[in-house]
């Protein structure tokens, strides 16, 4: 019953079609995404995450009936097909059973952890008798579960209306700049020791006329696929440098950090567009930091490093973002042009109660110090986290405990009271 190989969508649909044809009762399709396990795999390695996945699949297999099917659809995704259900209530019982299994804490390196997951469920004939539609509805439901952070969601017509698809984003994103729907929010970065405001990170916001606020995590990957990321970065860079001037702090010059995408570093013209923007806004290069995620640097390390080195030679600061989530080792940073390292917030989140994460953060800080990098902790949510990070020797902090990202006008007010 357990399919060891990853099924293609066509194979999944064929199975679904066969099951629906032989069952005269209701069928349920569940799509299960194990995003907690995906994250765990990035930290502890693929072997351990694969072992856990196989164990979980085994437990689910034992909980199911002989006619049910499990198909693995991706590294951290699988589908469960359940035929012969008497009614919707039975589908709910089945999904609760699976959610119960996935919700059990798992022992990872001597520590019990719960790994977040999302299940999306669609039903035949209630939602559709067409396998392809049913699959699409289960995909929408799994997205709805992820967004609402609930263990599972059964497809509803409302989800379809509420969930902004990549298709919608593609259609509208290109016009977003021209129609002035994008803006930047600014989140303060402060000195750990003195509490002094050092600068802010610019974070993009999209106010869609129909769908409301669409988060950057949602539209940036689509922009990357569409190839319009250079345009968005260019907009962001110029807006941030222009708005920075309005911060108007004569006593201390605040720096601004702009996030750049891996794709920006695949074209040497990017260097000109950054230095050009600094010229237009008459800004000293030291006051601009470019944040680039660790993971995206790995794609074409030689070219990215060349471009970053050139930028750095002008005095622009380079920050390695989301540090700890990629696969690189710290020693590798000797070759990278970096001035700052931002420890990913997933490590910061658990430091008050998780000694392992605290140890990881402490090790990163000690090694980064040897490489003479500034160390920023992002996602500082409580006073306790701030205290621990200060003790561990972290230089700069950013997070909800200090301030949330805010619109330009609010940031100006905030900065006036935090010198």
Report the partner that residue 400 touches, choosing among Ca ion, ligand C2E, none (CB closer than 5 to 8 A by kind).
ligand C2E
Among 307, 399, 411, 415, binds ligand C2E (CB under 6 A): 399
| Residue 321 binds ligand C2E, judged by CB under 6 A | yes
Smallest distance from Ca ion to CB 189, Å:
10
Q: Is 272 exposed, middle or buried (0-12, 13-18, 19+ CB in 10 A)?
A: exposed
Tokens of 135: 């699959």
How many residues bind to ligand C2E according to rule CB under 6 A? 22
Q: Which stretch binds Ca ion (CB under 5 A): 123-131, 170-178, 305-313, 316-324?
A: 316-324
Smallest distance from ligand C2E to CB 8, Å:
31
Interaction mask 274-313, ligand C2E, x per CB under 6 A: -----------------x----------------------
| Residue 294 binds Ca ion, judged by CB under 5 A | no
Q: Which stretch binds ligand C2E (CB under 6 A): 9-17, 94-102, 111-119, 214-222?
A: 214-222
Among 103, 400, 413, 418, binds ligand C2E (CB under 6 A): 400
| Residue 340 binds Ca ion, judged by CB under 5 A | no
Nearest-angstrom CA–CA distance, 73 and 56: 15
- Closer CB to ligand C2E, residue 27 or residue 260? 260
Smallest distance from ligand C2E to CB 270, Å:
12
Q: Is 151 exposed, middle or buried (0-12, 13-18, 19+ CB in 10 A)?
A: middle
| Residue 9 binds ligand C2E, judged by CB under 6 A | no
For the beta sheet containing 2-6, the strands, ordered from the edge strand earlier in sequence to the opposite edge, are 2-6, 69-72, 77-85, 26-33, 118-124, 152-154
- Closer CB to Ca ion, residue 29 or residue 236? 236
Smallest distance from ligand C2E to CB 79, Å:
29
DSSP of 252-273: SPPEEEEEE-GGGGG-THHHHH
For the beta carbon of residue 112, count every other beta carbon within 10 angstroms: 9
Nearest-angstrom CA–CA distance, 378 and 162: 30
| Residue 398 binds Ca ion, judged by CB under 5 A | no
| Residue 259 binds Ca ion, judged by CB under 5 A | yes
Please state the separation of Cα 16 from the chain's center in Å: 31
- Closer CB to Ca ion, residue 127 or residue 345? 345
- Half-sphere CA count of 11, side-chain side, radius 13 A: 13
**Which residue shows structure tokens 């001035």?**
339
| Residue 216 binds ligand C2E, judged by CB under 6 A | yes
| Residue 322 binds Ca ion, judged by CB under 5 A | yes
Determine if the peptide bond prior to 227 is cis (ω within 30°): no
For the beta carbon of residue 92, count every other beta carbon within 10 angstroms: 15
- Rounded (10°) CA dihedral 139, 141, 147, 153: -140
Give the interface with ligand C2E as residue ranges (CB under 6 A): 187, 203-204, 215-217, 220, 236, 259-261, 291, 321-322, 345, 378-381, 399-400, 405
Give the interface with Ca ion as residue ranges (CB under 5 A): 259, 291, 321-322, 378
């Amino acid at each position: 019953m357990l399919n060891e190989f990853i099924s293609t969508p066509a194979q999944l649909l064929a199975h679904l079609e066969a099951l629906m044809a032989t069952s005269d009762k209701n069928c349920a399709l569940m799509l299960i995404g194990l995003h907690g396990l995906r994250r765990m795999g990035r930290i502890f390695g693929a072997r351990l995450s694969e072992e856990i996945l196989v164990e979980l699949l085994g437990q689910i297999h034992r909980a199911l009936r002989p006619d049910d099917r499990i198909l693995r659809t991706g590294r951290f995704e699988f589908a469960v097909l359940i035929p012969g259900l008497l009614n919707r209530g039975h589908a709910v019982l089945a999904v609760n059973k699976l959610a119960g299994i996935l919700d059990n804490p798992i022992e990872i390196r001597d520590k019990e952890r719960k790994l977040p997951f999302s299940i999306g469920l669609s039903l035949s004939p209630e939602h559709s008798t067409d396998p392809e539609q049913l699959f699409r509805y289960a995909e929408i439901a799994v997205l709805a579960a992820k967004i609402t952070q609930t263990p599972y969601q059964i497809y509803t017509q409302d989800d379809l209306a509420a969930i902004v698809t990549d298709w919608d984003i593609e259609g509208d994103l290109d016009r977003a700049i021209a129609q002035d729907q994008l803006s930047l929010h600014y989140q303060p970065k402060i000195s750990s020791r003195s509490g002094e405001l050092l600068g802010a990170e610019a974070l993009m916001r999209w106010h869609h006329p129909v769908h409301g606020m669409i988060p950057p995590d949602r539209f940036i990957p689509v922009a990357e696929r569409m190839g319009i990321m250079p345009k968005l970065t260019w907009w962001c860079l110029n807006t941030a440098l222009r708005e920075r001037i309005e911060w108007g702090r004569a006593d201390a010059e605040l720096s601004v950090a702009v996030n750049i995408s891996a794709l920006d570093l695949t074209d040497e013209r990017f260097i000109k567009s950054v230095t050009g923007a600094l010229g237009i806004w008459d800004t000293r290069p030291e006051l601009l930091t470019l944040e680039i995620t660790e993971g995206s640097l790995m794609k074409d390390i030689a070219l990215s490093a060349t471009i970053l080195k050139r930028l750095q030679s002008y005095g622009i600061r380079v920050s390695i973002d989301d540090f700890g989530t990629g696969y690189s080792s710290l020693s590798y940073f000797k070759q990278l042009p970096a001035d700052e390292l931002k420890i990913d917030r997933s490590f910061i989140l658990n430091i008050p109660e998780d000694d392992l994460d605290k140890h990881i953060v402490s090790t990163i800080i000690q090694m980064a110090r040897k490489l003479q990098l500034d160390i920023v902790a992002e996602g500082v949510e409580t006073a306790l986290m701030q205290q621990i990070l200060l003790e561990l020797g972290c230089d700069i902090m950013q997070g909800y405990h200090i301030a949330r990202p805010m619109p330009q006008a609010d940031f100006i007010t905030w900065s006036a009271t935090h010198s």
